[in-house]
Structure 1
Amino acid sequence: MKKTIGIAAALAAAALVSIPASASVKNDVEYLIEQMKSSDCTFVRNGTEYDNLQAAEHLQNKWEYAEDRVASTEMFINEVASKSWFTGRAYQVKCGEDTQTSQQWLTERLAEKEKLN
């Protein structure tokens, strides 16, 4: 319960000091969600596995909720898309035999995007 209150307070504080997401942040987040949607990976949230489409939908919903409080792509990855706001547990992404945190997976996808630009 304390973690939930702490996360909610952090997001509320961020809303007071951050500006709405810029076009480049929106573009990056949409790209990352699309990467999840088109992947062959499984998304593990609070111990339950979800397919790529369910994972992308979950990230889209969290983005829509937090968009006005997200000032950077890194903030989206670290504060919105990498862990449960309710339990604080890190999300995992399983691709074949490899498992990593969603924070790592999304950061790698972002780095790949930046190499293309």
Structure 2
Amino acid sequence: MNPTRAIPGLALALALAAPAQAAPSAQAERETEQLIQALAGSGCKFERNGSWYDANEAQAHLRKKLAYLRKRDLADTAELFIERAASESSLSGKPYHVRCGGGAATPAAAWLRARLVQLRNAKPPSPATPPSP
């Protein structure tokens, strides 16, 4: 068999075998942003690799991790963002934690999943009432 004839067929087979990645939906983008904003505005502390950071530092860190994943089409849902970026250190594998006020530390994944449920259960704002004629 001629090797140069096999290359186009091999390239086509590889292209068909690779799963197509879709960009995150508008809802996934919105939910992920709302989760990051919820953490940033929470006043809670965020622990990673044994050190505690304020909420602004935490959101900056998670935004960097999200950007890394988005470039690789690996965070197209809020759940994947939580799982792949906001649950544990990609370097050490140690779980992240959130501590609010004087409360106990909670795994960051659980904290963010609870916020996601709250976001999804919140009623959207009702449209403004149109003026009477």
Using structure 2 for the length normalisation, give the TM-score. 0.72
Q: CA deviation at 1:115?
A: 1.1
Whether 1:23 aligns to 2:26 is yes
**8 A contact 1:20–1:69 mirrored in 2:** no
Whether 1:87 aligns to 2:92 is yes
Return 5+ residue gaps in structure 1 as ranges. Answer: 1-14
CA RMSD of aligned residues (A): 1.5
Return 5+ residue gaps in structure 2 as ranges. Answer: 1-17, 124-133
Q: CA deviation at 1:20?
A: 2.1
Q: Report % sequence identity.
A: 34
Q: Distance in 2 between matches of 1:85 and 1:19?
A: 23
**8 A contact 1:21–1:69 mirrored in 2:** no
12, 37, 41: which one pairs with 2:40?
A: 37
Higher helix share: 1
Bigger Rg, structure 1 or 2: 2
* Higher RCO, Cα 8 Å, sep 6+: 1
91, 105, 108: which one pairs with 2:114?
A: 108
**8 A contact 2:82–2:112 mirrored in 1:** yes
SS in 2 for 1:71: coil
Question: 1:82 is matched by which residue type in structure 2?
Answer: S
Q: Distance in 1 between matches of 2:32 and 2:105?
A: 22
Whether 1:75 aligns to 2:80 is yes
Aligned residues: 103
